[in-house]
Structure 1
Amino acid sequence: MDHQERTRRLSEQPLRRLLMHYAIPATVGTMVTALYNVVDRIFIGQGVGEHAIAGLALTFPITIFLQAFGMLIGAGASARVSILLGRQDREGAERILGQAIVLTFITQLMTIIPSMIWMRELLEAFGGSERTIPYAVDYLRIIVPGNILMTLCFSYNAVMRASGYPTKAMYTMLIGAVLNTLLDALFIYGFGWGITGAAWATVIAMAVSAAFVLRHFFLKDSVIRFRRRYIGLSWAPMWAIASIGLSPFAVQLLGSLVSVLFNRSFAIYSPSSHEADLAIGAYGIISSYAMVGVMLMLGISQGMQPIVGYNYGAGLYDRVRRTFLMCASINTLVGLVIALSALLLSPFIVSAFTQSETLMLVASDALSKCLVGFAFVGFQITATQFLQSLGVVQRSFVLSISRQTFFFIPLLLVMPPRLGVDGVWYAAAISDTCSGILGMLLIGWQMRRMMHQEMRP
């Protein structure tokens, strides 16, 4: 398929078939992201123990913080590439590609070095104990330097998908996921490397996937590719990337802060240090299960992105609206399934991550409380991705940070002092509900705006 045909079908092919064409590979890609994390946690929980999975949960603030810069560049570059290709500006898309690689290396060096220097001090501040910090340190010493490979892999996979190669993007991620699973089993059970083995498995798998992704952008028959004259730093392309990527970047940064607040709240409001470790371990399990739902929703939303971005750039607003409604309906259903399963099947879900009966009891009870509002998450994720794809930066940003900033943090100040650890779980559920409602209001505004644009001569 030539370049013009690859982009032309975005404006002409039936939307259901087109959404499936992009959403299925994108969903596989994001589910692979979830698989990297969930598989690690299952192997660590089952093969190492309850303190190891709590130690892994302690690392969340650092790993999420590092990933935020990958989201800043990857989400911003992929959305901007999609819009530029919709305007037939291939040169502009390649300029974005070249700027993104330089930004990746700069931001990674700026974040990896401080994380390595102050690692133990950070873990202590996050609420770690003498039982959990050693596991966290063993994991981070490998994962933190390897984060540059993860950033290259995920960021450029998103650009590959946005430039019209969703299936190829899917396969590059699948290769890494399968390899990660095999290496987890080999390193943890075969070699007895414990949590260190899980870290090495992830880094090696990411290196292989990153090599496949980057190779694509050096091929002459790719829609866009690396060109030496565009590799550098220039203010306009940098801002074009950052302005759109700011929304998911802020979400990740706030996600890091929320992880800190979760862990600190457990340390403060649990009756003992041991019970705090159990609550942190339960949080690790809950976040793993929630990640499956979030990544599924995000994959469907990312499949929407090139369709919406191209058609918005081409002025085909009816196709933009219908694509959003289709995607929002699917994601809302996914959120409802996750919420109901957390209520009805929590012991079964938790048993996949741990053999500890004590941790199973704590995590099962917490899962049903924490994810009861998850039905609203699907709409909020779809709305955020939709606004981001249209370049509506400010409202996308507001919606993306709403759950943590406007709802969760204030509730965390009010509820745990009265309800203890249960207040932490309920604060998360209420925040999910409120941010979903805010998403509905902002989407209503955007739909009215597009109607006015259609009416203009």
Structure 2
Amino acid sequence: MNLELGKESINKLLLKYSIPAIVGMIVVSMYNAIDRIFIGHIENIGAIALSGVGITLPIVTILLSFELLIGIGVSTNISASLGKGNKKHAEKYLGQLIIVAIFIGLSLVLGISIFKNNILIMFGASESSMYYAKEYIDVILIGTVFYIIGFSLITTIRSEGNPKKASKLLIISCIINIVLDPIFIFYWGIKGAAIATVLSQIFVFVMAIHYYTKGKSNLKLRRENLIPDIIFIKRIIINGLPIFFMQIFTSLIQVIFNNSVKIYGGDLAIGALATIVSISNIFLMPVIGINQGSLPIIGFNYGAKQYDRAKKALIYGTIVGFIILSLGFILVLLLPDKLISLFNKDKELMDISVQGIRIYLFMMPISVIAITAPNYFQSIGKVNTSIFLSLLRQAILLIPLLIILSKYFGIIGVWLAQPVADLLSSIISCVFLIKEFKNYNAMVEAIE
């Protein structure tokens, strides 16, 4: 693996590592999308039930943020350790993943369970949607620890050199969810959708643990590495903070969005937002997959002082991401009603969603730069820059824009905030990347 990352063509490496990661992230996005598709078509209550699930979206994003904190934090350190030829340290990080995931997972379940009602009200729940929100999230919380451990390990499976295995596990788990969803929803309604999701997550957990204990993995989970080590845990957290902050502020934005659309569009507008986010994630998750696939490539080559190869991995990945998001944008422009009807065919919900998706995703192709730049700086160890660029798009720009534009333009202003933030953050990210690349010539001269 080490020789491959340092010598193989960047294009071939991106294909090998990113395609499985793209498939994996699409599967991740499909987990919630599939639930919403089936829930939205429940007879008589589909539209309001979809809004109830939309209320829980910030909670699901919070769970995802901690999973990515651990998974990306561990994977970054594993890649760097393997790049330096230190397999012992790589396995130590793998063991610490389990410790951190259990602690964080149990803490999240306890905290959310205790303050659940207040949290859901703060996130935009009304008397009509509260019941469905609680029905869904109560079951999702049961699988939290399994989810965080299993999906964090999936990320490390890619970093240790087996991206195909990671994708295979995710695809099978998604199929399990698809098969079980309609069956369980028939018997238990919205709760059944959550049960199907949790069972598919437990499958990932069991198979990932088996892979690292009895499977053909390059790294192994060893008992001696399951003792907490503050130094290693701190490194995991530091390297996972950029993606963590990005997702946490995504959750915060979802809360603000939920409350804004509720004010200007009512409960159904929350369902519309959930639908729009689900559709956008189908296109955005492949870009996140490219980020995950390029992470070990960039990290290894930067660590080996092969700066040109690290830069190429970013540029090629950004180009592919731009193409993917452009295709998604074209579909949104031409077939918004077809995409939205997958989730629900209620006329009022459809009208709100069609208007929203065309505005909300208007700058989607350009946003690729704002997504890949923080990942690049994270991969090369410049965590502060990565965090700043992540916050720039998800908080520093978006929150003020959302508040100001919604005040003056109502629901249209709510939808408009995201594309404006995407454009501005992408321009600023370009400035940071250009400055970074200019430093490489001086670094190469110093080495020579």
TM over 0.5: yes
Q: How far, CA to CA, are the matches of 2:215 and 2:63 in structure 1?
A: 32
Partner of 1:55: 52
Name whichever of 336-345 and 97-106 sits farther off.
336-345
Partner of 1:147: 144
- Asked if residue 314 in structure 1 is aligned to residue 309 in structure 2, the reply is no
User: SS where residue 391 of structure 1 aligns?
Assistant: coil
Q: Deviations over 1:272-316 (max 9, x none)?
A: xxx411111110000001111111111122111111111111122
Q: Displacement of 1:339 after TM fit?
A: 2.4
Q: How far, CA to CA, are the matches of 2:72 and 2:151 in structure 1?
A: 10
Name whichever of 426-435 and 283-292 sits farther off.
426-435
2:318 counterpart (311, 315, 328): 328
Name whichever of 384-393 and 336-345 sits farther off.
336-345
RMSD (Å), alpha carbons: 1.3
1:293 counterpart (283, 292, 295): 283
2:175 counterpart (175, 178, 182): 178
2:30 counterpart (35, 40, 47): 35
Normalised by the size of structure 2, how large is the TM-score? 0.96
User: SS where residue 214 of structure 1 aligns?
Assistant: helix
The answer (yes or no) to whether the contact 1:77–1:96 under 8 Å persists in 2 is yes
Q: Displacement of 1:258 after TM fit?
A: 0.7
Q: How far, CA to CA, are the matches of 2:289 and 2:375 in structure 1?
A: 10
Partner of 1:396: 386
Name whichever of 259-268 and 31-40 sits farther off.
259-268
Q: How far, CA to CA, are the matches of 2:52 and 2:98 in structure 1?
A: 33
Q: Deviations over 1:111-132 (max 9, x none)?
A: 1111112212211222211211
Partner of 1:96: 93
Q: How far, CA to CA, are the matches of 2:137 and 2:419 in structure 1?
A: 29
Partner of 2:239: 244
- Asked if residue 280 in structure 1 is aligned to residue 275 in structure 2, the reply is no
Letter in 2 for 1:115: I
Q: How far, CA to CA, are the matches of 1:16 and 1:112 in structure 2?
A: 42
Normalised by the size of structure 1, how large is the TM-score? 0.95
Q: Displacement of 1:420 after TM fit?
A: 0.8
The answer (yes or no) to whether the contact 2:70–2:236 under 8 Å persists in 1 is yes
- Superposed, which structure 2 residues align to 1:2-81 within 5 Å? 6-48=1-43, 49-81=46-78
Q: How far, CA to CA, are the matches of 1:96 and 1:248 in structure 2?
A: 18
- Asked if residue 415 in structure 1 is aligned to residue 409 in structure 2, the reply is no
Q: Displacement of 1:222 after TM fit?
A: 2.3
User: SS where residue 212 of structure 1 aligns?
Assistant: helix
Q: How far, CA to CA, are the matches of 1:100 and 1:450 in structure 2?
A: 33
Name whichever of 445-454 and 233-242 sits farther off.
445-454
Q: How far, CA to CA, are the matches of 1:355 and 1:47 in structure 2?
A: 11
Q: How far, CA to CA, are the matches of 1:376 and 1:61 in structure 2?
A: 25
User: SS where residue 365 of structure 2 aligns?
Assistant: helix
- Asked if residue 136 in structure 1 is aligned to residue 133 in structure 2, the reply is yes
Q: How far, CA to CA, are the matches of 2:390 and 2:368 in structure 1?
A: 13
How much identity, in percent, do the aligned residues show? 33
- Asked if residue 350 in structure 1 is aligned to residue 340 in structure 2, the reply is yes
2:208 counterpart (205, 213, 216): 213
Q: Displacement of 1:366 after TM fit?
A: 0.7
Q: Displacement of 1:343 after TM fit?
A: 2.3
Q: How far, CA to CA, are the matches of 2:313 and 2:393 in structure 1?
A: 25
Partner of 1:227: 222
Partner of 2:122: 125
Q: Deviations over 1:46-102 (max 9, x none)?
A: 235100111111001212122221111111001110111011011111111111110
Letter in 2 for 1:199: A
The answer (yes or no) to whether the contact 2:253–2:395 under 8 Å persists in 1 is no
- Asked if residue 253 in structure 1 is aligned to residue 283 in structure 2, the reply is no
Partner of 2:370: 380
Letter in 2 for 1:94: E
The answer (yes or no) to whether the contact 1:369–1:429 under 8 Å persists in 2 is yes
Letter in 1 for 2:357: L
Q: Displacement of 1:154 after TM fit?
A: 1.4
C-alpha spacing 1:229/1:135, structure 2 compared with 1 (3 Å): same
User: SS where residue 95 of structure 2 aligns?
Assistant: helix
Q: How far, CA to CA, are the matches of 2:79 and 2:91 in structure 1?
A: 11
Q: Displacement of 1:252 after TM fit?
A: 1.4
Q: Displacement of 1:374 after TM fit?
A: 0.9
Q: Displacement of 1:220 after TM fit?
A: 7.1
Letter in 1 for 2:18: A
- Asked if residue 303 in structure 1 is aligned to residue 293 in structure 2, the reply is yes
Q: Displacement of 1:221 after TM fit?
A: 4.7
**Runs of at least 5 residues in structure 1 that lack an aligned partner in the other structure:** 1-5
2:353 counterpart (350, 354, 363): 363
Q: How far, CA to CA, are the matches of 2:125 and 2:215 in structure 1?
A: 50
Partner of 1:158: 155
Partner of 1:3: none
Letter in 1 for 2:235: A
The answer (yes or no) to whether the contact 1:376–1:437 under 8 Å persists in 2 is no
Aligned residues: 445
The runs of 4+ residues in structure 1 deviating greater than 6 Å are none
The answer (yes or no) to whether the contact 1:177–1:205 under 8 Å persists in 2 is yes
Q: How far, CA to CA, are the matches of 2:297 and 2:418 in structure 1?
A: 32
Partner of 1:168: 165
**Runs of at least 5 residues in structure 2 that lack an aligned partner in the other structure:** none
C-alpha spacing 1:50/1:220, structure 2 compared with 1 (3 Å): closer
Letter in 2 for 1:163: E
Q: Displacement of 1:225 after TM fit?
A: 1.1
The answer (yes or no) to whether the contact 1:334–1:378 under 8 Å persists in 2 is no
Q: How far, CA to CA, are the matches of 2:419 and 2:330 in structure 1?
A: 13
